[in-house]
Amino acid sequence: MRLSATFAALSSFVYAALAQDIVTPSSTSGSLTGLKYTSVGGSGSYNQVTNMIPGNFPNCDANPSCITAPKSVSGNLAPFNEELTFNFRGPLNLFNIAVYQPDSSGATWTQTSSWAAGQAPNNLVFMNNLGGGASGEFSICHGNSQSFASGDFTAAVATANADISNGVLDQDHEINIMTAETCASRACDGFSRGTANHGWADSKMLVVTFNMPASADASKVPAIWALNAQVVRTAEYGCNCRGIGSPGGCGELDILETLIGADPNNGISEIYSFKGATGSGNTNFFARPTGDQVTYAVVLDEQTDSIAIQHLTGWDYGSKSVPRSTIDGYLNAAALEVNFATGARKRGVIGGRRRAH
């Protein structure tokens, strides 16, 4: 009896703590507080890049220059169980980032990467697509590779995190984050070139605190999204395994993206893979945080084959681990539920279009 009472009290405490983390009241339509993609994984294939012929200046004289081969994948989350990178486009201010992944038992998710504005990152590298100067490479056929980003996110530097960043990303630039492990130290899946690092594989949770100030140019709108890490290791806007539109090849998850020509105070979510595409739709959106800081958790969970995006009241970035019960709490919290069934197609957004990515 005493054990049961203790367990009940502990369960109540965990639930109460979790309830304080999730924004209330919850909203599952219109302006959302949570969104959940179910049946994410599947069996299929995408065109994996196996080689990139650089060509000879001043013209790309290689045809074809982008060499691919089908890669078969299957299982829960596939292809989002492969390594991912998380991308950010301005105008956007980043304040904190953390990535958590399950231990071997699955009972605890451990913080594997972290960063706070004005501090040095832990197992996290800021990168951009400006290779060919200080770091990375450039080819006439494929343009810039990845490079190490400068502290103000506007240029390339020679070494990872050479500058301490304050997290300000202007409306003319984008960055992505990878782990500190390079493809030179341990081979990466698929082809890679220039400056190339590993992403986060299997189950993972991104927690990020940010805001998205108003754009001075209506055509330059912010976004947070995730890509298969192979995409940026080849050419994010060229030869890669993602492709354009739907179906989405090796995978893209738009977490919060403001569309050009749509309401600038709203952000949508969409998911793409070899299965097709779907998303939050015409009338459902996350409010764009132009002023106050907000915190979101993005859980990609193999066990349940689902992805949850939840707006939180805040996060203790000093937490080096979280129990599985916290992850389940986010996965089971109130949310707009979108089934990513085989053959799904994107829900169009009236009057809006994506800024290229």
pLDDT in tens, 246-272: 778 999 999 999 999 999 999 999 999
pLDDT at residue 13, rounded to an integer: 42
Distance spanning both ends of the chain, measured CA to CA: 57
Contacts of 307 (CB under 8 A, 6+ apart): 36, 37, 40, 77, 80, 253, 271, 298, 299, 300, 301
- Which residue carries 């972290």 as its tokens? 114
Residue 348: pLDDT band by 50, 70, 90 thresholds? low
Mean pLDDT of 184-197: 98
For the cut 60, the answer to whether the pLDDT of residue 350 exceeds it is: no
- pTM for the structure as a whole: 0.92
Q: Report yes or no: 245 and 105 within 8 Å, Cβ to Cβ.
A: no
Angle among Cα 143, 148, 154 to the nearest 5 degrees reads 80
